[in-house]
Amino acid sequence: MVKIADVRAILTQPGRARLTVVKVTTSEPGLFGLGCATFTQRAFAVQAAVERHLAPFLTGRDVDRIEEIWQMSMNHGYWRNGPVLNNAVSGVDQALWDIKGKRAGMPVYQLLGGRTREAAATYVHADGRDPQEVADRAVELTDQGFRHVRVQMGGYGGPADGLRLPPTVPSGNYFDPRRYGPAMLGMIDHLRSTVGDGIELLHDVHERLHPIDAVQFAKDLEQYRLFFLEDPFAPEDAGWFSTLRRQCATPLAMGELFNNPHEWRPLITGRLIDFVRMHVSQIGGITPARGVASFAAMFGIRTAWHGPDDTSPVGHAANLHLNMWAPNFGIQEWPQPSDLTYEMFPGLPRPVDGYLYTGDGPGLGIGIDEKLAAEHPCDETVEQWTQTRLPDGTPARP
Ligand code: GCO
Ligand code: MG
């Protein structure tokens, strides 16, 4: 029996985001696995969860028992289904799938059920200060071969210039939900007329609208035939999906903020969304994501796993192996990693003509240059962009 010998978290920040990768070493010399545990806003809490709580509990266990270890890791802390512990468990889970693939001499997608497609279509991000800047960026991306482009204007929540704030408001990331709909409708109208109907447009509301305004916004967007509209509501307002769904055919994507099965189960069984968008490490790794994909497939719902720059390349690899297998793959978000990230994580694929391909190497097919990772430690600055506020200073969900 090959046993878990050590479990530790590697924290590194090659770009904007703090990345957390769990390395599980085994009793077999040279055999190790990597898993993504990236929760960029609480990276140090995840590191403690991995090294102070999971490592002592897991050392000496059988690396082959992925499901049993996942179940016991979730139960072992008693309170469960939260973002920090889920990410810690994900790091171990993905590493164990990586190890099992290496031992079997197979890529992880083979262990899931084999290829269902040749490649995974991706979407990339276009943003700008005005509709023409967004359009210019979108055209650059389509010229690179991408056929799915997420279009935002002024970042999440829209442009903040010209907001009338009381003189005493505290510092923060201000936006006005009431300006958002008209501004974004104008931008998307310009984009559709610029790129035509041959390009798939996506948009992320990022939970920035009051629910009833999100209903109106989605209805107004129907004419533009988006590939999907993401996070029209905050998870806490998921009860509004049934209201929206009865009035509107704009495809809906939700899930990056989900941690708990109670969040996605009703949206899937009610056919209230079209794409599940979970951050795979946020729900606990490949093991639960495989289950969610199969469950969603039974209701005609597709996958669109969260894939921002605050998913590590190991996490992107896990997304990709799930995408190769899942019968209901929809689309894969791609953050266009930096050259430093590619250097730090050998094996990370580059899109070709808008598609991502896995190699046929064993496991997840991703390595890490630990020396280079150590040269880019995670900063400890206080996150600013998530300190979002309405114009009067009211705290708002980011
Ligand atoms: C997306 C997401 C991200 C999040 C980020 C939070 O659709 O990719 O909304 O951009 O904002 O992952 O840290
Ligand atoms: Mg999003």
Nearest alpha carbon, ligand 1 atom 9: 206
Is the model's pLDDT at 359 over the cut of 90?
no
Q: Taking the mean position of all CA atoms in its chain, how far away is CA 45?
A: 19
- Mean pLDDT value across the chain: 98
Task: Look at residue 398 in the predicted model and tell me its pLDDT.
Answer: 97
Mean pLDDT value across residues 203-221: 98
Give residues with Cβ within 8 angstroms of 163, minimum separation 6. 174, 175, 176, 391
Calculate the alpha carbon distances from 60 to 15, 25, 55, 56, 330 in Å. 35, 11, 10, 9, 39
Q: Which of 204, 316, 385 to mutate to test the pocket of ligand 1 (most atoms within 8 A of CB)?
A: 204
- Whether 205 shows a pLDDT value over 90: the answer reads yes
Mutational test site, ligand 1, from 206, 258, 277, max ligand atoms within 8 Å of CB:
206
- Confidence tier at 374 by pLDDT (50, 70, 90): very high
Ligand 1 neighbour 309 (Cβ under 6 A): no
What proportion of the chain, given as a percentage, has pLDDT over 70? 100
**Is the per-residue pLDDT at 235 higher than 90?**
yes
Distance CA 177, CA 262 (A): 28
Q: Which residue CA neighbors atom 6 of ligand 1 most closely? A: 310
Say if ligand 1 is within 6 A of residue 40 CB. Answer: yes
pTM beyond cutoff 0.85 = yes
Evaluate if residue 215 carries a pLDDT over 90.
yes
- Residues 105, 360: Cα–Cα separation, whole Å: 9
At residue 128, what are phi and psi to the nearest 5 degrees? Answer: 180, 170
What's the gap in Å between 109 CA and the centre of ligand 2? Answer: 25
335 CA closest ligand 1 atom index: 8
pLDDT at 113: 98
The whole-number pLDDT of residue 128 equals 98
Pairing of strands 302-303, 275-276: parallel
Residue of 26, 82, 85 lying closest to 53 (CA atoms): 85
Q: What is the reported pLDDT for 97?
A: 99
**Average pLDDT over every residue of 293-300:** 98
Q: How does pLDDT run across 125-145, given as a tens digit for each residue?
A: 999 999 999 999 999 999 999
Residue 362 has pLDDT above 90, yes or no: yes
Mean pLDDT computed over 32-43: 98
Instruction: Quote the pLDDT of residue 204.
Output: 98
Provide the pLDDT confidence category of residue 236 given band limits of 50, 70 and 90: very high
Closest atom of ligand 1 relative to the 277 alpha carbon: 7
- Say if ligand 1 is within 6 A of residue 310 CB: yes
pLDDT in tens, 74-126: 999 999 999 999 999 999 999 999 999 999 999 999 999 999 999 999 999 99
15 lines ligand 1 (CB under 6 A): no
C-alpha distances (whole Å) from 362 to each of 28, 105, 115, 267, 319 are 16, 5, 14, 35, 16
Cα–Cα dist 185/218, whole Å: 10
How many Å lie between the centroid of ligand 1 and the Cα of residue 308? 6
Residues forming the active site: 156, 206
**Taking CA 21 as the corner, what is the angle to CA 292 and CA 375, rounded to the nearest 5 degrees?**
155
Q: Whose alpha carbon is nearest atom 1 of ligand 1?
A: 308
Q: Which of 16, 203, 256, 333 is the best mutation target for the ligand 1 pocket, counting ligand atoms within 8 Å of the beta carbon and taking the most?
A: 256
